[in-house]
Structure formats: structure tokens, C-alpha cells
Homo-oligomer: A and B are copies of this chain.
């Protein structure tokens, strides 16, 4: 039986799985490798996760909780949004997508093979939530006049695509010039010239 989520060892195994799955994909990651990386024995992995599948599923879905909180926190104070705050939000999003490299890589691994994985539904609803959040921002920005006339849906989808693609295509997360460029380009998707 799988153990509680709070154990130190569970977290070690989870992090090891996250690292190796994000680097080598599902099949090229062996339980033996995960065990070594986590500093536990082969058998112990199965004490905390019943199957390799369940470990992988955990690596894909559990980080969504933190991502969601990160977005929701801002969603509450959306009525008083200013352009300055929007710029801050975009900065945070770009930074988050580059900092949470492993978490997003495994998500992209799943999204990239929709015929293979069922986790899709959870990820789909998260994506919908996110684009809805962006749409709300665009509507408020237009109402308040600090955003030009736009199709909010187009901005939402375009902005999510942009963040995903930036993370997928560019590995060098230490490159400040690059991330700054992405922040400028992200602003342009909202119709704000730089």
C-alpha cells in the first residue's frame, strides 16, 4: 500500500522521479535509477508509490496544485488591476515557467502525446482555467482602458502557447537577456508595444 504524502522519503522519491522523467522520459527512466537518485533501495520505491505509472502520474499532476495557487492568489484582486500589476504578473509567469523546468517538462511530455496519456483531462482543465484567467484580465484591461481592443480568447490561447513554447524551445534559464525578451514579447500579445 502506498504511504502518506508527508514522508521525507516519499518527497525524495518524488523529486528523483521528477528529475529523471523530465530528462529521459517515462520508459527510459527505470525504478532502479529513481531509487539510486533518491538514495533508497529498489523495493522502497514501491512502498511509497504502488507502480511506476502512479509515480509518473504524481509527477505530472501534483505540481498543478502549486501552480493553481500561484494564479488564484492574483485572481482575487483582479478588479483593481493596473497596467503596472499586469506587467508584474507577466514577469512572474515567465519566471515561473523557466524556474519550474522539471515540472513543466513532464507536463509537456504528456501534452505532446495525447493518444498515449489520460492525464490530459486534468491538464486540459488547468489550461482552460489559465486561459480564462487571462481572458478576464484582458476584459478588465479593455474596460479600464489600459489595454487596446482585443479578442480576449485569442490573447488567452496565444499567451499560454507562448509561455509553453518559450519553456520548450529554450533551455538556458539563466539567460536573463532571453527571459527579458520573452517578457517584452509577452506584453505585445496583450497589445502593449515595448
Contact = CB atoms under 8 A, between A and B. Distances in A.
B181 A158 contact: yes
B161 A23 contact: no
A148 B192 CA distance: 12
Nearest to A150: B194
B154 A116 contact: no
Given A160-B169, A163-B165, A168-B165, A184 B108 contact: no
Contact of A170 (B161, B181, B184): B161
A193 B27 CA distance: 45
Contact of A164 (B111, B148, B169, B182): B169
Given A158-B182, A188-B191, A168 B112 contact: yes
Contacts of A112: 105, 108-109, 112, 168
23 contacts: A23-B116, A27-B27, A108-B112, A111-B168, A150-B194, A151-B184, A151-B194, A154-B185, A157-B178, A157-B181, A158-B184, A158-B185, A161-B165, A161-B168, A161-B169, A161-B170, A162-B165, A162-B185, A164-B165, A164-B168, A164-B169, A165-B165, A165-B166
